[in-house]
Amino acid sequence: MREFVGQWSDERHLRTLSNGDARYFVSESESGDLQAFAILRGVEEVSRSIELKRVVVATPGRGLGRRILTELMSIVFDEFQAHRFFLDVYEDNARARHVYENLGFVYEGIMREAGERNEQFISLHLMSMLDREYRARATLTAPTASPV
């Protein structure tokens, strides 16, 4: 997982936590072990454009990342009233790109050599979802009541 997610120092996390424009979300097991965390930035932006800065799942492949992203989409659009939810993902992280696309994120373009990993620059794919896309998707996936 480390090859797909940039690493921050404890100091960087503390600075981000102290900034009113960022929110951290965590998922813990019943025993209190950290299973995943996510960072949103831009929650106070006038543009109502919120960035998914980071989502990290301890054990990928079990659907937890998808569940967390679905909850974050609800928080971003329903609670924060965002217009745009965006993220970037390493170009070689096909698994994450697939999940984002399945959730309705749209590919916007490539940010050439905008990330660094193992002392080498790597390009990032920019993806986003707009509030109207989220609402349309929520309408399509909402359970329908069956007649009694």
For residues 1 and 56, the answer to whether their CB atoms sit within 8 Å is: yes
Q: Which residue has the tokens 């009694």?
A: 148
Within a domain: residue 34? yes
User: Burial letters for 47-83: b for 16+ Cβ neighbours within 10 Å, e otherwise?
Assistant: ebebbbbbbbbeeeeeebbeebbeebbebbbeebebe
Q: What is the pLDDT of residue 33?
A: 86
Within a domain: residue 148? no
Task: Tell me what the mean pLDDT of segment 127-139 comes to.
Answer: 94
Domain span at 88: 10-138
Within a domain: residue 3? no
Within a domain: residue 71? yes
Within a domain: residue 123? yes
Within a domain: residue 35? yes
Within a domain: residue 143? no
- Nearest CA among 144, 63, 143, 77 for reference residue 105: 77
For residues 40 and 52, the answer to whether their CB atoms sit within 8 Å is: yes
Residue 21: which CATH number? 3.40.630.30
Question: Tens of pLDDT along 76-131?
Answer: 999 999 999 999 999 999 999 999 999 999 999 999 999 998 899 999 999 999 99
Within a domain: residue 104? yes
Total structural domains within the chain: 1
Q: What is the pLDDT of residue 59?
A: 81
Q: Say whether pLDDT at 71 is over 80.
A: yes
